[in-house]
Amino acid sequence: MALILLVAEVEGGVLTDIGAQLALAAKNVAGAGDEIAVAVMSDDPAAAAESAAGLDVSTVFSIAHPALADGGTGGFDAPVSALAALCAEKQPSVVLLGKTDFGANVGPRVAFRLGSGFAQDCIDLKAESAADRIAVTRPVFGGNAMAVYRFRDRDPQVATIRPNVFEPDETGAVSGTGGAEIVQFDAAAAIGEPRSRLIEVVAEESKGVRLEDADVVISGGRGLGGPAPFERLQELSDLLGGALGASRAACDAGWIDHGHQIGLTGKSISPRVYITFGISGASQHMAGCSGAKAIVAINKDPDANIFKEARFGVVGDWEKVLNGFMATVQELTGN
């Protein structure tokens, strides 16, 4: 029987959505008799461990240590050491983390310590015919193509999964029966004295829904020509109850903060509707919005790459289109 280990994340003492998404991803590779377990790290893990017990897993490994405050995001030394120790003792065949800031830093470090393979930013994974082997699909060449990678025979097979790729069904069912066994795992000796610690957090003040969680995202690119149009896009975003995004070119130009950047080096999104103004659709940007259910593109260049990916497209001046679009939305919403 193989063990598939998921690494949940804790934010503000509460489990984030990535834990449930990883539980769904694990179903793709779990065979008959395989065990799915989740690791939860915190300085006070009681509440987080109890919420993790509601996932569709059999075991929750609760790891408590002062250096693991808020899930270990205060410095990656402690969670890396804790997870490496847990893997060394429990010998999982597969370890899955989210492609988040936490997972992108912790995943490769854990794989390196264990001398095993690592796959980053996976959008699919499947069980192979060989014993306990998995194959992962991930974007390559800036998102222009998808490649399938297979792990060799060294365990654990460590992979990070792009957020929102594995989503609950329409009923929202992601939880198990709540009967998972909670097992305390002592990682104090492995953690020791961390070499790095969090000194200060400078949080950007944001309003509304997070970009990664939004059902509607409005984005602007180089074609807007400056920072002022983003205020208009923010108005449209507020009308639709969505979030505001941007291309890397717009962020690099200083027109909008990099926290809004979507793409290979920015955030990955999977909204129901993604509306872009003045974005050409470079492969790096499209890699970050490949999970969008429907893309609406507005660009004056009829040959813009984004029209190849868009379900709906408008060739024209973004400002004229935006004015008409906003007027229609205001009429329909009564705002």
The model's pLDDT over 274-332, given as tens digits with 9 standing for 90+, comes to 999 999 998 889 888 888 899 999 999 999 999 999 999 999 999 899 999 898 988 88
β-partners of residue 258 are: none
Task: Report residue 219: phi and psi, to 5°.
Answer: -130, 150
Q: What is the pLDDT of residue 303?
A: 93
Distance set, CA 318 to CA 221, 297, 325 (Å): 11, 10, 10
Peptide bond into 139 cis (omega under 30): no
Which CATH code is given to the segment(s) 3-191? 3.40.50.620
CA 165 to chain centre: 8
List the chain domain ranges.
3-191, 211-333
Compute the half-sphere exposure of residue 166: CA atoms within 13 Å on the CB side of its CA. 27
Count the helix, strand and coil residues of the chain and give each as a percent rounded to the nearest 5.
30, 25, 40
Which of 200, 187, 199, 201 lies closest to 66 in space, CA to CA? 187
What's this model's pTM, rounded to 2 decimal places?
0.78
Domain 211-333 has CATH 1.10.8.60: no
Per-residue pLDDT tens for 105-133? 999 999 999 999 999 988 888 887 656 78
Q: What is the pLDDT of residue 113?
A: 94
What stretches in the chain show pLDDT beneath 70?
Answer: 1, 45, 47, 70-74, 129-131, 142-144, 168-178, 197, 203-206
Q: What is the pLDDT of residue 206?
A: 65
3-191 and 211-333 agree in CATH topology? yes
Q: What is the pLDDT of residue 27?
A: 87
